[in-house]
Amino acid sequence: MEQFALTDDQKAILDAVRRLVKEKVEPRAKEIDEKGEYPFDLKELFAEMGFLGADIPEEYGGQGQGLLTSCLITEEIAKACASSALIVAGQELGFTPLKIGGSEELKQKFLPKFASGEFIPAFGLTEPNAGSDAGGMSTKAVRDGDHWVLNGTKCFITNGGIADVYTIFAKTTPGEGVKGISAFLVEKDAPGLSIGKHENKMGIRGSLTTDVIMNDCRIPAAHQVGELGTGFGLAMATLDRTRPCVAAQALGIAEGALDFAVNYMKERKQFGKPIATFQGLQFMVAELATEIEAAKYLLYKAASIADAESKAGRLRLSSEAGKLSAMCKLKCGDVAMRVTTDAVQLCGGYGYIKEYPLERMMRDAKITQIYEGTQQVQRVVIGGHIFR
């Protein structure tokens, strides 16, 4: 980490996160998973500590620390509880379209509330028939005087049902493909907005995931984010910046799982000695630790470059930054799945039972290979940047 010259502020934030995780998050992780309930108490703690506004500029009430800091916070929390880490990562995803593409009026109205944690945002891109093919969405927005009227359904929406503001992407010019998509802010009490089914998920069970339904949903015309027809570009620019947060979540899960397995191996005895002394198992751990370290530096590099380009005022990140963003998400997601699977193996039957956290970590890790672009989509993105 020192290779990336963390600031004194970042080091202080990390120390605060570690203390909070040890005292408040780790003791709650099992209960959060079993009950499948959003941990509002932890959200309030994160808000009080300023974690939710780490990547929001100071002029809007945030800390102005940048994406790398948000990733460091997410990673540290995910070592104990992936669902709790998603509170921070989900906030980042939800407010980024507004931060990089919204009008000054909208920024002044909403960003301070996102920074303080008073408001929870959500990102509404995916639809039942438009997942990886986001350009195939069917949600439509039609101008009606001083309002936009939205119709359509979004699915798999993180923070669905508890968000105060949804960034919804909709077609404003049918027949124009991705050039006909625009972005809008929809407040939770907007007429015609409703919440559909709550998904019963394998992992990240403490994060709420729902359908969001718009039936003649009316919003002020001023809630359009960016220029007409620029919504798809805004969504892609957002994902370039937020995929490192998913990578950070995955990395934290992997680190937490390996730490648990190593400690277990030091205590577990077979044939009269700790299993940590068995060379075959040491080789497994050595490979996992190496994969984690490689993933970590790729993540930190991607986040650091994104920060540098954002400070320079870029809306769309460079091809190099976009490539690294997809690479770190691909690498960290795959490492999380491998490490948690092997950590369960290293702990044998104890790794498989719910009394211990590894089976939860393994379930949580899987989603990092799926959301914000599947691993297959990341390969398409990376290949596109390489051959462009």
Q: 258 Cβ partners below 8 Å, 6+ apart?
A: 285, 288, 289, 292, 339, 343
Residues of the chain above pLDDT 70, percent? 99
Ordered by start, the domain boundaries in the chain are 2-116, 121-225, 233-387
Q: Which of 177, 220, 185 is nearest to 94 (CA)?
A: 185
3-state secondary structure of 272: coil
Class of domain 233-387: mainly alpha
Q: Rounded to whole angstroms, how far apart are CA atoms 99 and 67? A: 12
pLDDT top residue among 5 and 148? 148
pLDDT digits (tens, 9 = 90+) for 115-151: 999 999 999 999 999 888 888 899 999 999 999 999 9
Q: Could you tell me the CA-to-CA distances from 86 to 49, 121, 254, 276 in Å, in that order?
A: 16, 12, 15, 33
Fold for the domain defined by 121-225: Butyryl-CoA Dehydrogenase, subunit A; domain 2 (2.40.110)
Of 76, 291, 309, 372, which residue is the catalytic one? 372
pLDDT digits (tens, 9 = 90+) for 26-78: 999 999 999 999 999 999 999 999 999 999 999 999 999 999 999 999 999 99
Helix axes 319-346, 279-311, angle to 10 degrees: 150
Q: What is the CATH number of domain 2-116?
A: 1.10.540.10
Has 31 been annotated as catalytic?
no
pTM for this predicted structure? 0.96
Q: Is the pLDDT of residue 266 over 90?
A: yes
Tell me what pLDDT residue 320 has.
Answer: 96
Tell me what pLDDT residue 4 has.
Answer: 64
Q: Could you tell me the CA-to-CA distances from 126 to 172, 217, 227, 379 in Å, in that order?
A: 17, 18, 21, 19
Assign 388 a pLDDT band (cuts: 50, 70, 90): confident
pLDDT top residue among 154 and 132? 154
pLDDT average, residue stretch 370-376: 96
Q: Is the pLDDT of residue 2 over 70?
A: no
Q: Is the pLDDT of residue 1 over 50?
A: no
| Intra-chain end-to-end CA distance of the chain, in Å | 32
Q: Is the pLDDT of residue 79 over 50?
A: yes
For residue 341, how many C-alpha atoms fall within 13 Å in the half-sphere facing its CB? 7
Residues of the chain above pLDDT 90, percent? 94
pLDDT digits (tens, 9 = 90+) for 275-306: 999 999 999 999 999 999 999 999 999 999 99
Mean pLDDT of the chain, nearest integer:
96
Q: Rounded to whole angstroms, how far apart are CA atoms 308 and 320? A: 12
Q: Rounded to whole angstroms, how far apart are CA atoms 382 and 388? A: 10
Q: Rounded to whole angstroms, how far apart are CA atoms 165 and 353? A: 39
Residue 378 structure tokens? 């990341």
Tell me what pLDDT residue 177 has.
Answer: 87
Assign 5 a pLDDT band (cuts: 50, 70, 90): confident
Helices (H), the chain: 8-20, 29-35, 40-48, 67-78, 82-101, 104-116, 231-267, 279-311, 319-346, 348-352, 358-367, 375-387
pLDDT digits (tens, 9 = 90+) for 179-232: 999 999 999 999 999 999 999 999 999 999 999 999 999 999 999 999 999 999
Q: Rounded to whole angstroms, how far apart are CA atoms 180 and 347? A: 52
